[in-house]
Amino acid sequence: MAGLSDLDAQAKSNALVAYVLMALGLFTVITWFAGGIWAIVKKSDARGSRFEDHYSNIISTFWWGIFWTTVGVLTLAFFVGLPILIIAGIWVIYRLVKGLANLTSDRSYSA
């Protein structure tokens, strides 16, 4: 993390933890919640850093992922649940991969 201020280095490390936990959460739900909660708790520590918007992405992905997964599961019996779950999964993976790619390149999420 050469060239990063202490604030940026800490914000990057905490965002990386959240992204990894949420990525693992695609296989083990408990780490999904751990990653989302980690980002919520650590967001204020990242205020003013170049990685601040990663926390907004992680938290948004966390809540929308929960919402669309719930909708998908509840509508499985009506034959629309599976497409909802597939689309939600693709969307979550895209957001996590884009975030990790930008984070490891020392860029903001929106870059």
Q: What is the pLDDT of residues 27-71, one digit of tens each?
A: 999 999 999 999 999 999 999 999 999 999 999 999 999 999 999
CA-nearest of 87, 63, 86, 84 to 72 is 84
pLDDT at 32: 97
> Could you report how far apart the first and last alpha carbons of the chain are, in Å?
18
CA distance linking residue 85 with residue 108, whole number of Å: 28
pLDDT at 3: 85
Q: How confident is the model at residue 111 (pLDDT cuts 50, 70, 90)?
A: confident
Predicted confidence (pLDDT) per residue in 62-97, tens digit:
999 999 999 999 999 999 999 999 999 999 999 999
Q: What is the pTM of this model?
A: 0.93
CA-nearest of 73, 97, 67 to 85 is 73
pLDDT at 1: 53
pLDDT at 54: 98
User: What distance separates the 2 farthest-apart alpha carbons in the chain?
Assistant: 53
Q: What is the mean pLDDT of residues 101-106?
A: 96
Residue with the larger pLDDT of the pair 1 and 18: 18
CA-nearest of 15, 10, 11, 20 to 39 is 15
Joined together, the tokens standing for residue 77 give: 């019996």
